[in-house]
Amino acid sequence: MKASRIERLISALQDTEFSLLALNPGASLTYLTGLNFHRMERPIVLWIGVDGKIAVTLPTLEIAKLSLAPMDIKAFPYSDDPQTWQKAFQEAARYLNFRQAVIGVEPNNLRVLEYRFLESAFPEARFHNADHILSPIRMIKEEGEVAAMCKAVQIAQSALQATLPIIKPGVTEKEVASELTIQLLRAGSHPQLPFYPIVASGPNSANPHAVPSDRALKAGDFLVIDWGALYDGYCSDLTRTFSIGDIDPELEKVYSLVEKANENGILAVQPGKTAGSVDQAARRVIQAGGFGEFFTHRTGHGLGMEAHEPPYLYQENDQPLLPGMTFTIEPGIYLPEKGGVRIEDNVLVTDSGRECLTNLPRCLQKLG
């Protein structure tokens, strides 16, 4: 499977100006080779040439991993002495034999550390963004990828259900986040979670990316919980909003609008429609309810080996939706100093419409 991904990538490169791709450790490198390297103080770069050559510059201690790759990868190792690192990059450059190369990189992943070695090894090269080559390949999920994401969803949902009994007035956001993390691990998530859970209560829930604090939950609060699991390299990413006891009628109205926006966004998912049309379907509900200015982010983002990856669901995006794409639908309303609501589900585009991978209740649940 990994070998066929490399073949598709090389085929795609042949229709572009790129001579090489240079990839840091990260999701794309793992997706293409099955190899896992972590980013550290020692530079690692995987090279994929349009001519089919595959090489890697890496520390000697990582060479054993190459035996796990389903394809031949030429290694250019170096020792712990930083004085040997540039020589390894130069030897790789000679092997690849592209003097005036156009080298594709991932701007969101490439560090200055590796970039300086690339510049020195390929002084006549140009470095361009290659996301438009990699994204179309990774956006369409294979059957095994979808199965892993479904399992990640099941783990996340089970973990939340196991956490809910501790939630009551007086418990802090940090305590809820800690318990949820423990339950994620118990349910089978990889220890490296897609992200640390967001647990935000009361006024803090008006911050979409709040960090769990020492604030204790109070009656009348909204409680936003945004969390996910990692299984076999694939992520889930969910959000549910709860009330701590009874809440203000205005907040109940806000919740109803977000619930309807979430439903409209999911129903708008159809192959051939655009990513932007899904955002518009969800956003119209909130705008019509008079809270448009408080929906401050896009409706969703792609999901897979990374918690945030293409496609991105914002109004202006004319990216067509294709079967196999997976992404979140997560409209929200955030009222400063009062509270916020977000409801997030994970959706797969199918040949005839969509499949919602998440099935936790979306209606407002009162806790405590």
pLDDT value of residue 363: 96
From CA 276, how far away is CA 299, in angstroms rounded? 9
From CA 27, how far away is CA 6, in angstroms rounded? 14
Phi, psi dihedral angles at 292 (to 5 degrees): -55, -40
Residues 6+ away with beta carbon under 8 Å from 225: 160, 176, 180, 197, 198, 199, 239, 240, 241, 242
Give domain 2-138's CATH number out of 1.10.286.10, 3.30.360.10, 3.40.640.10, 3.40.350.10: 3.40.350.10
The Cβ of residue 175 has, within 10 Å, a number of other Cβ atoms equal to 17
Q: Determine if the peptide bond prior to 311 is cis (ω within 30°).
A: yes
Query: For the chain, which residues score pLDDT lower than 70?
Result: 1
pLDDT value of residue 100: 84
Helix ranges (H only) for 168-300 are: 173-187, 249-267, 275-288
Nearest to 134 by CA among 309, 276, 300, 348: 309
pLDDT value of residue 1: 63
Q: What single-letter DSSP state applies at residue 195?
A: S
Domain limits of the chain? Answer: 2-138, 140-367
pLDDT value of residue 212: 98
**49 by DSSP, 3-state: which?**
strand
From CA 233, how far away is CA 239, in angstroms rounded? 20
CATH 3.40.50.1820 fits 140-367, yes or no: no
pTM of the model: 0.95
Strands 332-335 and 309-313 come out as unpaired
pLDDT value of residue 3: 74
